[in-house]
Amino acid sequence: MATQISGPYAGGEDRINGGIMAELSTVKDLLEEEIKDLYSAEKQLTKALPKMAKGSNNEELAAAFESHLKETENQLKRLEQVAGLLDTEPTGKKCHGMEGLIEEGSEALDEDGNENVLDLGIAGAASRVEHYEMAGYMAAIALAEQLGQSQVVKLLNESLKEEQAADEKVRGIAQKIGKSAPAEEAERDEDEKGGKAKRANA
């Protein structure tokens, strides 16, 4: 006996959180939803990256965020191209996953403590964002390949490579920052004493 599905997953267009959930009947439908989700994620990130750059104490880390902002703006343009190739619009959906990651990242910006440790927290938040985006792009690429959409695959792969490079860059910077960050309480106390001694001798 077939199971009857009711509620928001029954098909058709249903309202969820004040919005519309489109019916997913084909692989193309799913790909279009993935593109809308990615577009929303990147759009949110264009607002978050300047805050992450401003909140970073390490100049190299701040510069990496500023550089990735330009890439993100280009990724939005690519997604618009992809939507055009699929004869759909990239807007109309909010990526709640990215919203949650950005909210977590903002907590790292509000923390007090050792500057290097704080930067490690910001770098970690950024890496989680990049991995979320990479997963989204890989899912969309797999669907586009299934549909034989070679131009869509090419555009999405360009953005995926940028995300991978951005993550590698941030992780590399974090490794260098980590060498200057106190690992344990005793090291932190020594750093504080050293700072006080320098100020006393100044």
Q: Based on C-alpha coordinates, what's the Rg of the chain?
A: 21
Confidence at residue 18, expressed as pLDDT on a 0 to 100 scale: 40
Q: Which residue has the higher pLDDT, 55 or 191?
A: 55
14 has pLDDT over 60: no
pTM: 0.79
Q: Which of 122, 79, 77, 80 is nearest to 101 (CA)?
A: 122
72 has pLDDT over 90: yes
62 has pLDDT over 60: yes
Could you report the per-residue pLDDT of 86-115, keeping only the tens digit for each? 999 999 999 999 999 999 888 888 888 899
Q: How far is CA 4 from CA 1, 9, 10, 135, in A?
A: 9, 10, 8, 32
Range in 6-20, 110-124, 146-160 with the lowest mean pLDDT: 6-20
Confidence at residue 21, expressed as pLDDT on a 0 to 100 scale: 58
Mean pLDDT rounded to a whole number for the chain: 85
Could you report the per-residue pLDDT of 185-195, keeping only the tens digit for each? 655 555 555 54
Q: How far is CA 40 from CA 50, 62, 72, in A?
A: 17, 23, 12
Range in 2-16, 30-44, 79-93 with the lowest mean pLDDT: 2-16
28 has pLDDT over 70: yes
Confidence at residue 111, expressed as pLDDT on a 0 to 100 scale: 80
Q: Which two tokens stand for residue 143?
A: 């669907």
What the chain holds in terms of domains, given with CATH numbers, is 25-184 (1.20.1260.10)
